[in-house]
Amino acid sequence: MKVLVSDSISPKGVEILKKAGLAVDVRTGMKPEELKACIGEYDGLVIRSATKVTAEIIEAAGRLKVIGRAGSGLDNVDKTAASKKGIVVMNTPGGNTVTTAEHSIAMLFAVARLIPQATASMKSGKWEKKKFMGVELYNKTLGIVGLGNIGSQVAKRAQGLEMHVIAYDPFLNEERAKTLGVRKVSLAELFSQSDFITVHTPMTAETKGVINAKTIATMKDGVRIINCARGGIINEQDLYEALKAGKVAGAALDVFEKEPPENNPLLTLDNVVCTPHLGASTEEAQENVALAVAEQIADYLMCGVIRHAVNFPSIPTDQVPRLQPYITLAEKLGGFASQIFEGGATEITVEYRGSAAEINTAPVTIAAIKGFLSPILLETVNFVNAPVIAKERGIEVKETKSADAGDYQSMIALRIRAGSKESYVAGTLFSKRDPRVILIDSFKVEIVPEGELLLIYNNDRPGVIGGIGTLLGDKGINIARMHFGRESAGGMAISVVSVDTAPSDEVLEQIKALPNVLSFKHIKL
């Protein structure tokens, strides 16, 4: 079998592949058309961030069985296209954690003490002591947005500098925050209380532009902002204006919306420190991820062992046909539950009823946890690390089994808890393979869990459904399906509308304002 290495990795990684008995070609710097022309020859593909594995490339990959990313981010891989074609997509989570955390701390020092600016000044023959007046980190408040692996490592190092560390993470609960020695706050509180803000979240619809003109206005005058996570989390134009006005005293940026940045006004400002996406660029980190991805690909191609796959659970091949429908159902239920539950969950119980209680539930439970975490964490959570991430965030995962599935042959349910707050979502398989959501708390429903869903809690009154349909029709949004449930006639009801295109924020606000609409959720599956 043949493996193509299309981006530069440590030679030690290439050697591992060869020792496993694989033929290896190292061809870096190829253009997309060159990769498309040759990819059909290979069983495995090793990449970093430069190679873009598009749906077009995957379509041309007739033999490809596995794509391995030496690193964690997979923005450059069309995972949906790979999954449809049965190609396993792997990454190497954790290999860059310490390196990226250290770079964030380095950027923290650089923006506080103006080190790059002072260096440039001296190298031009100047001695400008008064110009480069900095600020201490000691006793300052560092706000960390996203307390996953990297954010947690940054917190530890900031505590060593005797900074006050506060953090916001949608999955962070009080117990986990206490263990890490940080104070849990809301995002608004973090923005208003921090002297320095560093972001460590994936780039998602929820985090895109989370730092913008509106949120910057709520920050302290003279705040300093660091981003070593993903470009786009900060609205670059809004940051530029705030830096020019002095509202933000300085920024340290390792990532940009467009890389490399072209004609980016941020690069013209003296109070901006920047590096060319160096977060993972240490000899140790690059060797770690190269060795890891090579071992994973060799294990899969030569032994059939799947590790750190982001699109497939690690289960025996002969169990796949029976388990796959349940895995799909559980992941859909997790994603659905995550988007209707507000706050940081402390406990998730996965209930298996009827024939579902007789299967190998371990990978199905992992799928449920992955589904629950994915709406926020996206590519950083997979079938391998989902249990670890849940544990890191103080989420206890339980299983229960029962032979009784009521009116159904089988059923899987998720019970989400945080203190006294609880949410319950249950589903089943139609025709033994098609997932359906059949229960949302006390409401009986029959929902196809896919695409854009509008979940509306409303009073059971005439005209509610007509109002929703009319509004969407006026906006040119086609309704694919509608599902209803109610507690009792005239009481509370829910309406679940599946639409073909995502409604704009303006349309969502208009739905909320409709008569008898009590609350509203926009769910994406």
Distance CA 62, CA 65 (A): 9
SS3 readout for 58-95: HHHCCCCCEEEECCCCCCCECHHHHHHCCCEEECCCCC
Distance CA 382, CA 331 (A): 11
Catalytic residues: 230, 259, 277
Q: What SS3 class is residue 419?
A: coil
Alpha helices in 362-445 (DSSP H): 362-377, 386-392
133 DSSP 8-state letter:
-
- Buried b / exposed e along 75-110 (16+ C-beta atoms within 10 A): ebbbbebbeeeebbbbbbbbbbbbbbbbbbbbbbeb
Q: What SS3 class is residue 8?
A: coil
Distance CA 314, CA 296 (A): 12
Rounded to a whole number of angstroms, the distance between the first and last alpha carbons of the chain is: 36
Distance CA 320, CA 427 (A): 20
Query: CA neighbours within 13 Å on the CB side: how many for 276?
Result: 4
Distance CA 321, CA 325 (A): 8
Residue that has been written with the tokens 């509610």 in this structure: 464
Distance CA 256, CA 233 (A): 9
Two structure tokens written together for 88: 């396993």
Residue that has been written with the tokens 């429908």 in this structure: 325
List of residues 6+ apart from 111 with CB closer than 8 A: 196, 224, 226, 250, 251, 252, 273
Query: CA neighbours within 13 Å on the CB side: how many for 166?
Result: 19
Give the type of residue at 186: S
